[in-house]
Amino acid sequence: MNPEQWAEVDRYFNRHQIADDATLDAALEASAAAELPTIAVSAAQGKLLQLFARMVGARRILEIGTLGGYSTLWLARALPQGGRLVTLELESKHAEVARANFARAGVGGLIEVRVGPAAHGLARLAAEKCAPFDLVFIDADKASIPEYFEGALRLSHVGTAIVVDNVVRQGAVVDAMSADEGVRGVRRFMEALANEKRVSATTIQTVGAKGYDGFTLALVNAI
């Protein structure tokens, strides 16, 4: 088994399950042209996020870490009429690329990009006493995952689904001695999760077009 084979198998399944989509392709092309890092979710992962959003009947979605808005577009397309998506992004350049992608996709009116540190964005959302979100996708800096998860819980209701990306890090997550800030963030998150009565969670390791990684899915049981 090797990454090229994982990518080939992804392409095989995608051919049968994921329609060609010029708007999504254009979002990736615009992100590459602006020299954003190529770390967006894969097509299969984007579709999975969209299906999760539909499974929980999401009308309000929160994303932490926009980049060029590729995952955002997958999620936004799950929204019913009147649905809303808020996405938090540190880098104004990333936010600008994302906004242009949303406008081109015709979903700019559903999506609010808030620029600044996500910790600040989460605190602001809580202070605004906005309605809770139905699905939260955590995909910004990995060092702060525990704080983002706590922030997401404060903006959740019973039944909210919280998806945390990139928790496996090519298996590095099991290295208790790791100096990697991302690994340390994931490990702090796992320690918090072990004592967290408000959610029921599981983690799935993944291989595919994005190599070896994985995500945690947490469903809110009580608030």
Site residues for ligand DHB per CB under 6 A? 39, 139, 165-166
Nearer to ligand DHB, 30 or 59 (CB): 30
Binding to Mg ion by residue 63, rule CB under 5 A?
no
DSSP states along the chain: --HHHHHHHHHHHHHHHS---HHHHHHHHHHHHTT--S-SPPHHHHHHHHHHHHHTT-SEEEEE--TTSHHHHHHHTTPPTT-EEEEEES-HHHHHHHHHHHHHHT-GGGEEEEES-HHHHHHHHHHTTPPPEEEEEE-S-GGGHHHHHHHHHHTEEEEEEEEEE--SGGGGGG-TT---HHHHHHHHHHHHHHT-TTEEEEEEEEEETTEEEEEEEEEE---
Nearer to ligand DHB, 132 or 173 (CB): 173
| The one segment of 76-84, 138-146, 189-197, 201-209 that binds ligand SAH by CB under 6 A | 138-146
Residue from 165, 167, 184, 206 binding Mg ion (CB under 5 A): 165
Q: Name which of Mg ion, ligand SAH, ligand DHB, none residue 89 binds, using a CB cut-off of 5 to 8 Å depending on partner kind.
A: ligand SAH
Binding to ligand SAH by residue 213, rule CB under 6 A?
no
| The one segment of 67-75, 150-158, 175-183, 190-198 that binds ligand SAH by CB under 6 A | 67-75
Q: How far is the CB of 106 from ligand DHB (least distance, A)?
A: 25
Binding to ligand SAH by residue 117, rule CB under 6 A?
yes
